[in-house]
Chain A
């Protein structure tokens, strides 16, 4: 069954700290993996897109890694800010199609 699982479900950290979010997937055949940020009451916004041949992709303080062999990805946030408080969603697409499988997200709360 094609699934995307994220952990932890929720996370609370202090401002300025780093954190890492995990994503495991069983989607096959795999095309690409995306991380989205979703603020409460808003639509998801793309952070990174990686194909199977890419190991890492950065976008400012966000760095995503991908291990296509183990089917795992992580999103690392450095020097967290209050505005990083949001849900972070891992999305995996099937090869050659527009069908995306969305994870349920990790809810991150950054405290002052």
Chain B
């Protein structure tokens, strides 16, 4: 059972371009979370999705950012018209059980390092 797969590992974009980050959760996991990590800071929650549904996007900027988790295929975090401040490591995590359970364990991918020039 492969772990959470994220690609690309590194992504370089110029200001104004679009960035697409992909996350394939572990097999059997229908709960996906995206986090952003700025240098010297802790991971910050962005969005929580279940298959085909956005459950909570309260941590995601309302402008330029969107996320989806289609019935087939990976979850996608999309950043339009990137700016330098978007440069960060973006981590995806998945879980097989609904959130809030004491024994819930998140499995993280290796992240995508986005650099905006």
Is the pairing of A and B real? yes
Asked whether any CB of chain B lies closer than 8 Å to the CB of A59, the reply is no
Are B91 and A43 in contact, CB atoms less than 8 angstroms apart?
yes
Contact size range, B: 20 to 34
**Is the C-beta of A77 less than 8 angstroms from some C-beta in chain B?**
no
Residues on A with beta carbons closer than 8 Å to the beta carbon of B93: 43
CA–CA, A99 and B81, complex, Å = 28
B31 to A: closest C-beta gap in Å:
8
> Is there contact, CB below 8 Å, between B42 and A102?
yes
Contact call B41/A104, Cβ cutoff below 8 A: yes
Contact status A49-B99, CB under 8 Å? no
Given the interface pairs A32-B102, A49-B102, A49-B103, the reply to whether A100 lies near B108 with Cβ below 8 Å is no
Contact in complex: A46, B106 (CB < 8 Å): yes
- The answer to whether B99 and A97 have CB atoms under 8 Å apart is yes
Question: Which of B12-20, B43-51, B60-68, B70-78 is the interface stretch?
Answer: B43-51
Bound Cα distance from A49 to B99, whole angstroms? 14
Decide if B102 touches A105 in the complex (CB within 8 Å).
no
In contact, A103 and B42 (Cβ under 8 angstroms): yes
Binding site for A on B (CB under 8 A): 4, 6, 33, 35, 40-45, 48, 56, 91, 93, 99-100, 102-106, 108-111
Binding site for B on A (CB under 8 A): 4, 31-32, 41-46, 49, 51, 89, 96-105
